[in-house]
Chains A and B, each alone.
Chain A
Amino acid sequence: MTSMTETVPWEGAWEEGGPLGVPLVDLLDRVLGTGVVVSGDLVIAIAEVPLVRVSLHALLSSVNERVPAPWADGGPL
């Protein structure tokens, strides 16, 4: 029987404030485009598709090909 915990790699990290295990793509979905938009003196239009896509590609390829994952436990990716 498949349990949900198999795909919640960071369960338990919640209490320790250890967001390192959070799936990065899911995190970016959330911190970039959403939240209450409060117009700041400086609000960056980073939710636009092209930049996010480019950044994600740069990020994923750097994690997977060039450098070891920057977190200790091997990471979720």
Chain B
Amino acid sequence: MTAAPCTTDASTVTDACSATDACTATYIFAVCRGGDPAALEGLAGHAEGAHVRLLPVGSFTAVVQDVPADRFSEEAVRERLSDGAELERCARTHHAVVCAAARCAPTVPLPLATLYLGDERARTALARREQRLHAALDRIEGRAEWSVKAYAVPGRPDAPGPAGRTGGTSAPAAPAAPSSAGSGAGRAYLERVRSRKQARDHRQETALRAAERVDTALRDLAVAARRLRLHGPGPDGDRRTQVLNAAYLVAEGRESELAAAVGRLRQQAEADGVRIEVSGPWVPYSFVDGGDTDDLDD
């Protein structure tokens, strides 16, 4: 068998490039409806591209940038986004333009690195999704996204197990009697292991229940809610276990209600060893897809 030629999107980009004089791709940040997005023209956008410009598509305005296709081929993008600093730069640049757009008009953000081989293709793709874009804009207009995360605070390694709670079994944490050093010490060790595991399980259950309470309470304030993938432990010594990573779509003007609710929930959660973190308001990234959103309205 001969080695198959590697046909990828990247090569498609390259082919298209050689066919035209300008090797540029159209990078779409966001799609706006109404408002006055003229102020967006001339924003810097990604460093290797031209200035941000507006592309009218039917009743929408897409916020786009011409970028060099070779810097945004599939391979190039994959490589760049695997580099931490570069990933951060791209994400923050994308977000800056999306935020600027959202200040001018109701805005649907598109995911990082949504690229087309030219304006016509971009127009066609967006026009095909006109209904969905309208639905998304209807959903998010006048609303903002809030991120709420909850973490189980790690128990101290020497924290006593829940011996009192479990009753029944004795908790021989005391040193074994000298006469039975062998088997006594072994059993004490097993008991300690078991009691530590029980304590850990108990903390985890308590934290998960606390997270559910937080989620339930905040859904009452939200128009829609979404659970995002939980983060694993970071490499930076953050040993906390994330038990909730959620996004809530909240009507503008209800921020103080949200703040008050979070304040109350925090006090309660603190007692369960759970810390709540909030960030926002976000452009409603998590609510423009329509796919996984649990709509609480109807």
Q: Which residues of A contact B (CB under 8 A)?
A: 1-5, 7-10, 14-15, 17, 19-20, 22-44, 46-47, 49, 51, 53-65, 67, 70, 77
B192 contacts A by Cβ under 8 Å: no
Q: Which residues of B contact A (CB under 8 A)?
A: 9-10, 12-13, 16, 25, 28, 31, 72-74, 77-78, 81-85, 87-88, 91-92, 94-96, 98-100, 103, 108-117, 121-122, 125-126, 129, 132-133, 136, 147, 149, 228-229, 231-232, 234-236, 245, 258-259, 262-263, 266-267, 276-282, 285-286, 288-290
Cβ contacts A to B, 27 pairs, < 8 Å: A4-B259, A5-B259, A7-B277, A7-B279, A8-B278, A14-B281, A23-B147, A25-B231, A26-B279, A26-B282, A30-B282, A31-B285, A32-B91, A32-B112, A34-B286, A35-B111, A36-B110, A36-B129, A37-B289, A38-B126, A40-B114, A41-B16, A42-B9, A44-B77, A53-B232, A58-B82, A62-B84
Q: Which residue of the partner chain, among B12, B85, B115, contacts A70 with CB atoms under 8 Å? A: B85
A-B contact count (CB 8 A): 191
List of B residues within 8 angstroms of A20 by Cβ: 92
List of B residues within 8 angstroms of A61 by Cβ: 84, 235-236
